[in-house]
Structure 1
Amino acid sequence: MEELRGQATAGQIEEWKKKQGDIFKVEVGDSVCYLKKPDRKTMSYVATLGNNPIRANEALLQNCWLGGDESIKTDDEKFFGVSAKLAEIVQIKEAEITKL
């Protein structure tokens, strides 16, 4: 198995998990990056870019980036590949409302 560009060590991954909680590994081509869940501040900023989905994905990627192959941010094909998966890191808990 060929090593991916930007691959983190097991120790680095554990360190990120301690600081960030859930982290996500995204592989695209021969590269990999690691992302954390976006916080409310990040999502608020991304929402202001809603009319420009590419810019919104750039902002989400930049703000959630923990490490990996920097070419993912600059190579259009890799960026678009990762962009297609970014919605999966935005996790929303199911809410219930009851009229009393």
Structure 2
Amino acid sequence: MAKENKNIDQLIAEWKEKHGGVYALPVEDKICYLREPNIEDYKRAFIAMQNDGDTAFGETMINSLWLDGDIEIKTDNDYFTPAKKEITKMLNYDEAEITSLENRHHEIKIGDAKTTIRVITKDDLKTAEKRNPSGKPFVTQAALYELVKVSADEAFNDPKNASIRFPLYQAIEKVQNKKIAQLKKL
């Protein structure tokens, strides 16, 4: 568990300074400490999930974010399974507010940060997809955002900031799918 020469409060303070957010993940009589994930952590975890399933997502996230704790959370199924389930709560970020502007532009607000995007065309989608030939998670969305961005507050300039990027990518998806389509077999 934690290094004996420092108490856990000191370690948490150091981790927060180094990593930003820190999470405690207790599982019954065991506990581990995880740093806040960034978009690169999610990319690795989603690739693992694409290749090996949901368990690989949880395992990759726990291993990537691990700061300290009882190793049984990683190695014992009785502890790992509930920990894996809790990890998905890290995906809960603020929802973006979308406002339609003139000239088919949209303002996307996440917390206090704002960005403006122009209309998304089929050519934009094709170009973004070409920039991601291996189909890696979030690469197409990041490329698409850079293509259609008109202006942005500083918070949007950090491509690793998951608390901005997840809601941003969801908002861009909503902007693209304003109309509803439904295929019906006749």
Structure 1 window deviating more from structure 2 (14-23 vs 88-97): it is: 88-97
Write the deviation string for residues 33-66 of structure 1: whole angstroms up to 9, x where unpaired. Answer: 0011211111112112334000111001111111
| Amino acid corresponding to residue 76 of structure 1 in structure 2 | N
Separation in 2, partners of 1:10, 1:65: 17
* 1:32 Cα deviation from its structure 2 partner: 0.5
Q: For the Cα contact (< 8 Å) 2:48–2:56, is it kept in 1? A: yes
* 1:89 Cα deviation from its structure 2 partner: 2.4
Separation in 2, partners of 1:81, 1:31: 12
CA-based RMSD of the aligned residues comes to: 1.6
2:70 is aligned to 69
Separation in 2, partners of 1:99, 1:13: 42
Alignment map for 1:1-100 (pairs within 5 Å): 6=1, 9-51=8-50, 52-100=53-101
Gaps of 5+ in 2: 102-186
| Amino acid corresponding to residue 14 of structure 1 in structure 2 | A
Q: TM-score, normalised by structure 2?
A: 0.47
Work out which structure has the larger RCO, using CA pairs closer than 8 Å and 6 or more positions apart in sequence.
Answer: 1
Q: For the Cα contact (< 8 Å) 2:31–2:69, is it kept in 1? A: yes
Q: For the Cα contact (< 8 Å) 1:38–1:90, is it kept in 2? A: no
* 1:21 Cα deviation from its structure 2 partner: 1.5
Q: For the Cα contact (< 8 Å) 2:49–2:55, is it kept in 1? A: no
Gaps of 5+ in 1: 1-5
| Amino acid corresponding to residue 42 of structure 1 in structure 2 | D
